[in-house]
Structure 1
Amino acid sequence: MTGIRWGYALNQWDTNIDAFVRKRDHERAFKTISISGFSGVELTAESFGPWEPLGSPEQIANLYGSLDGLRRVLTECALDGVSSYVYDPFIGFDVEMGRGHDPLDPEAAPRITATAVWFAEALAALGGEVLVVRPCGSAWQTGALDDDRIAALAACWNTVGAAVAAAGVSLALHFDFLSALRLDDGLARLLDATDPELVGLALDTAEVAVAGLDPVAVFERHADRVRHVQLKDARDVVDDAEALTPHAEQFVRTEGGARRVERWFFEPTDEGGLVDFESFAGSLARHGYTGWIVVESDQSPHPAESAMVSGWYVQNVLAPLTSAAGELSGSAVGKA
């Protein structure tokens, strides 16, 4: 298939450990996403056992009987399948709620690779195409990455990229606003150090914007490496000093930091956030991007409403702007 496909992330429904565990809740979300105009869903890897029934291939099979069982439910809800899985290697799956592995540790690469393949093979069964991964830890944990550590990360992700490609899945590195890659041009240096045939970029417009970067400029710089887009808005910027706050994942991202920011991410609209969505969509079209665009609205207090608002904006504003992408490129989905 060619062109752009629009998906929606389920993470905004999964707000608490027991908030999104029943099939009926899943089906309501699937149907809401479908009637809002989206054709796929994005899942997040989690290791809380039956309390995260979509968090791993094992838990999906436990609830739905098999991966095919979930695929059938998605089809019955008028969805094509799962677009992508988001996998953070720091989350462990050997032991429920256990600690994962650091990509900077060369000895961790085999286990990270094995887990990535586990998710990639599940993705292939669910109709998905992109494994989105967190490539390194946060800035406060590592500081700026020197050339040796960039090389270590590149070696890990090149290995993972080759392994998941065997399942027909692309690998895309996800930049988050607390990432060590925000320091000393780390993202560009890591992309330069990795094999472009094996390792791509998942561009998250809001994460980039919160880090003080222009999503359009980042896309223009790395358009040939973008394999996946996550679309959402933001209203507040986190500078390097704030990102370097100890335990920033909890203090800044979860608790809002010293400013007590209540919500970092918002639906894509034209109502005045940090992201210029129309310019971004135009850039996608000019570069002939083909692949999934997954809309997110993390932290939404009203998930169904956010999905419908986002669907209206996509169908009436963004999709017409990106429709030229399929005409500009004959590349396969996810190979922009």
Structure 2
Amino acid sequence: MPAPLDRIRVGSAPDSWGVWFPDDPRQVPWDRFLDEVAEAGYAWIELGPYGYLPTDPARLGDEVSRRGLRVSAGTVFTGLHRGPAVWDGTWEQVARVAALTQAMGAGHLVVIPSFWRDDKTAELLEPPELTREQWSHLTRGMERLGHRVRESYGLDIVVHPHADTHLDTEEHVERFLDSTDPGLVRLCLDTGHYAYCGGDSVKLIETYGERIGYLHLKQVDPEILAEVRAQAIPFGPAVRRGVMCEPPSGVPDLAPVLTAAQNLGVDLFAIVEQDMYPCPPDKPLPIAVRTRRFLRSCGA
């Protein structure tokens, strides 16, 4: 039997049920997601896109607690590299999500940079590389956000490197970490997105361990990823091809990632996310059950 990973708190998210949007007829209803994530054996969930789950704190708290669930984090997308002009609009969005996250007793806000190309059409929205000034806007903006979110809502931000954003590759992630205050900004390491962009999750944890504040557990199908790279396919169509796959069939191997995280000696959430929007409504639950069983076999 593997050593118990007693510092790792495993959960899942609406993303693993094919949920990318607040309201979409191709997604499972929110109450079915809550029923099934509990049935699969998870104790923790994320809020997903704001508006998918009920946004009234009293109602959401009741729906979550009566299923034996707790909330680990909320999520926001930001475009802080665009500079001070976007701050007010960004804060309005962040405050709404942070207030609900705080009301649910969670301690984290997952912050994802905005896409540089459309995740459906591949239309170029911005250059894929930031200028020096934009890097400064991004890093200073995230520090400002981390300070404000903690001051106003008592939450820690964890910034999520993501495919088709300016925070993706090992080079970009290390530059970001080296340029930001560890006391204000930590990382949500998504093992699938980092592998998708060529990064080594175990190496990152072992090198920047004090900056890892949260984990998303995800795997990539290496054969499909090779096609995606060769054909420069954007993230949305890549997901529809099945680039994010069910553990343990892809990369990275999650057992060493979890062991490296455990060795940090701090409590960490490890939230399962298997991107598969859109998907048949009966597909997620069996995968979630098998994935939970696999993670238990790793000690989590």
Task: Tell me, yes or no, if structure 1 residue 70 matches structure 2 residue 70.
Answer: no
Offset of residue 20 of structure 1: 4.2
Distance in 1 between residues matched to 2:74 and 2:149, nearest whole Å: 12
Between Structure 1 and Structure 2, how many residues are aligned? Answer: 278
Amino acid across the alignment from 2:107:
E
Amino acid across the alignment from 1:119:
V
Task: Tell me, yes or no, if structure 1 residue 199 matches structure 2 residue 199.
Answer: no
Runs of 4+ in 1 over 4 A off after TM superposition: 241-245
- What residue in structure 1 maps to residue 109 of structure 2? 131
> Whose RCO is larger (CA < 8 A, sep 6+)?
2
Q: Which runs of no fewer than 5 residues in structure 2 stay unpaired? A: 1-5, 118-123
Offset of residue 183 of structure 1: 5.7
Offset of residue 31 of structure 1: 2.9
Offset of residue 136 of structure 1: 4.7
Secondary structure of 2:105's counterpart equals: coil
Offset of residue 207 of structure 1: 0.4
Q: Equivalent pairs: percent with the same residue?
A: 23
1:275-309 CA distance string (max 9 Å, x none) = 11111111112112412110112216511111111
Amino acid across the alignment from 1:86:
T
Q: Select which of 30, 49, 53 maps to 2:34.
A: 30
- What residue in structure 1 maps to residue 140 of structure 2? 155
Secondary structure of 2:271's counterpart equals: strand
Using a 3 Å threshold, how does the CA distance of structure 1 residues 3 and 279 change in structure 2: closer, same or farther? closer
Distance in 2 between residues matched to 1:155 and 1:111, nearest whole Å: 17
Distance in 1 between residues matched to 2:230 and 2:161, nearest whole Å: 13
Using a 3 Å threshold, how does the CA distance of structure 1 residues 204 and 153 change in structure 2: closer, same or farther? same
- What residue in structure 2 maps to residue 174 of structure 1? 160
Distance in 1 between residues matched to 2:217 and 2:170, nearest whole Å: 25
Secondary structure of 1:177's counterpart equals: coil
- What residue in structure 1 maps to residue 24 of structure 2? 17
Offset of residue 244 of structure 1: 11
Offset of residue 30 of structure 1: 1.8
Distance in 2 between residues matched to 1:191 and 1:244, nearest whole Å: 30
- What residue in structure 1 maps to residue 121 of structure 2? none
TM-score w.r.t. length of structure 2 = 0.83
Amino acid across the alignment from 1:157:
M
TM-score w.r.t. length of structure 1 = 0.74
Offset of residue 17 of structure 1: 0.9
Secondary structure of 1:180's counterpart equals: coil
Using a 3 Å threshold, how does the CA distance of structure 1 residues 170 and 207 change in structure 2: closer, same or farther? same
Q: Select which of 84, 95, 100 maps to 1:106.
A: 84
* 1:1-336 superposed matches below 5 A: 3-13=7-17, 14=19, 17-20=24-27, 25-46=29-50, 52-54=51-53, 60-61=54-55, 66-80=56-70, 82-89=71-78, 101-138=79-116, 141-166=126-151, 167-182=153-168, 185-236=171-222, 242=229, 251-256=233-238, 262-269=241-248, 271=249, 273-299=250-276, 301=280, 302-319=283-300
Secondary structure of 2:59's counterpart equals: helix
Distance in 1 between residues matched to 2:207 and 2:246, nearest whole Å: 25
Offset of residue 121 of structure 1: 1.6
Give the conservation status (yes or no) of the 8 Å contact 1:209–1:215: yes
Distance in 2 between residues matched to 1:205 and 1:112, nearest whole Å: 26
Distance in 1 between residues matched to 2:213 and 2:86, nearest whole Å: 25
Offset of residue 6 of structure 1: 1.5
